[in-house]
């Protein structure tokens, strides 16, 4: 019997050492310690032996069983560790995965650039609501109900049930709309502040109109308003020229003022820009001297104050600066376009 036990122990330990995978080791464990193994058979046959033989052999069989179990468990643990280390081992010669980082949208970049330029000219940056009331978007800007100029700003009106919850916050809540320009912020700012001041208002605006290469249904404007004493269009020309110089840097541009009509300015102009000798003129902003009726609406005395205002199209400026042929590219979500900036 002694001899048999040693043989079992030896062959089990050889098998344990030789096996290199945890799965195979499990199989061998069943062979040496399972229900049909030689060792289990021996343990089972103890009951047929005399008490003396049982006392002699029993502890030895139990001891061998425990010893083999320990060896199997240890080997299994070692194999599992070395296998997982193998899987996780780093190949330092393998080329790394390129991490793609996020990207600031060109329009955000340009908005930031414009803000910095105006801040350097002592303007402040303020923002206003995208959902506006009829009063601030039209009436207070001298565009009364049946005025044909309302057609210049095709409007997205909001359904009453969609805006119920916002009513308490907005003046004249009976008719709300998506602002068609950033000019209503002129009114909101002047209602709460006194001149002299100079502000810009960057923001998104909405128009219910057909899209083409230079028109979108939602786009960005930057409103400007400077109010004080004895101001004239010459002050506006100086500010806008300084702005263009800083914005376009070494790029050669020409700009021109065209007489135009906006009910909230008198006189009114539109500003066009052309890049280089061969470029095409593109209208980039409306502007003018703030109308007396606008000052009336906010409670200023029109005999005491004067000011100029302008509203520029952000995409249009970007299109000129970066020679972008179609405004719709900004909203296409095409990463090949966006990553160029």
Contact yes or no for 71/12 (Cβ under 8 A): yes
Q: Which of 75, 179, 316, 321 binds ligand YSA (CB under 6 A)?
A: 316
Q: Does 198 participate in binding ligand YSA (rule CB under 6 A)?
A: no
Contact yes or no for 319/247 (Cβ under 8 A): no
Q: Does 137 participate in binding ligand YSA (rule CB under 6 A)?
A: no
Distance of alpha carbon 30 from alpha carbon 7, whole angstroms: 17
Sign of the dihedral defined by the CA atoms of residues 255, 308, 222, 206, in that order: negative
CB of residue 130 vs ligand YSA: minimum separation in angstroms? 14
Q: Does 313 participate in binding ligand YSA (rule CB under 6 A)?
A: yes
- Interface region with ligand YSA, contact rule CB under 6 A, candidates 17-25, 53-61, 277-285, 297-305: 277-285
- Interface region with ligand YSA, contact rule CB under 6 A, candidates 53-61, 115-123, 154-162, 281-289: 281-289
Q: Which residue is nearest to ligand YSA (CB)?
A: 313
CB of residue 223 vs ligand YSA: minimum separation in angstroms? 6
- Interface region with ligand YSA, contact rule CB under 6 A, candidates 18-26, 188-196, 231-239, 258-266: 258-266
Q: Which of 157, 224, 160, 227 is nearest to 190 (CA)?
A: 227
Decide: residue 46, CB within 10 A, 0-12 exposed, 13-18 middle, 19+ buried.
middle
Q: Does 297 participate in binding ligand YSA (rule CB under 6 A)?
A: no
> Which of 37, 128 has the CB closer to ligand YSA?
128
Distance of alpha carbon 307 from alpha carbon 302, whole angstroms: 10
Q: Tokens representing 144?
A: 């009364």
Contact yes or no for 160/134 (Cβ under 8 A): no
Distance of alpha carbon 46 from alpha carbon 172, whole angstroms: 100
Q: Which residues are catalytic?
A: 153, 181, 207, 221, 265, 309
Binding site for ligand YSA (CB under 6 A): 181, 183, 207, 209, 215-216, 219, 221, 262, 264-265, 283-288, 309-311, 313, 315-316, 327
């Amino acid at each position: 019997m002694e001899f048999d036990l040693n043989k079992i122990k030896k062959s089990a330990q050889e098998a344990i050492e030789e096996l290199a995978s945890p799965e195979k080791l499990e199989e061998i464990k069943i062979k040496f310690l399972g229900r049909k193994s030689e060792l289990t058979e021996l343990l089972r046959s103890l009951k047929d032996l005399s008490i003396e033989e049982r006392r002699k052999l029993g502890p030895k069989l139990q001891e061998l069983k425990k010893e083999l179990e320990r060896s199997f468990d240890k080997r299994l643990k070692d194999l599992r560790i070395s296998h997982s280390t193998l899987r996780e081992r780093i190949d330092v010669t393998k080329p790394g995965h390129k991490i793609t980082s996020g990207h600031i949208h060109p329009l955000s970049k340009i908005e930031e650039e414009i803000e910095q330029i105006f801040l350097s000219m002592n303007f402040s940056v303020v923002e206003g609501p995208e959902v506006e009331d009829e009063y601030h978007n039209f009436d207070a800007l001298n565009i009364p109900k049946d005025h044909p100029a309302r057609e210049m700003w095709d409007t997205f009106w909001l359904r009453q049930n969609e805006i119920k919850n916002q009513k308490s916050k907005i003046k004249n809540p009976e008719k709300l709309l998506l602002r068609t320009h950033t000019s209503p912020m002129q009114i909101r700012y002047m209602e709460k502040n006194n001149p002299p001041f100079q502000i810009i208002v960057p923001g998104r605006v909405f128009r219910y109109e057909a899209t083409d290469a230079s028109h979108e249904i939602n786009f960005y404007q930057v409103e400007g308003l400077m109010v004080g004493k004895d101001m004239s269009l010459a002050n506006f020309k100086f500010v806008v020229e300084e702005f263009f110089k800083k914005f376009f840097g070494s790029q050669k541009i020409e700009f021109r003022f065209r007489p135009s009509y906006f009910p909230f300015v008198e006189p009114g102009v539109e500003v066009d820009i052309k890049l280089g000798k061969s470029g095409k003129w593109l209208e980039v902003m409306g502007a003018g001297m703030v109308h007396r009726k606008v000052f009336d609406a906010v409670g200023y005395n029109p005999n005491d104050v004067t000011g100029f205002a302008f509203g520029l199209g952000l995409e249009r400026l970007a299109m000129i600066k970066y020679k972008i042929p179609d405004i719709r590219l900004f909203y296409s979500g095409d990463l090949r376009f966006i990553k160029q900036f």
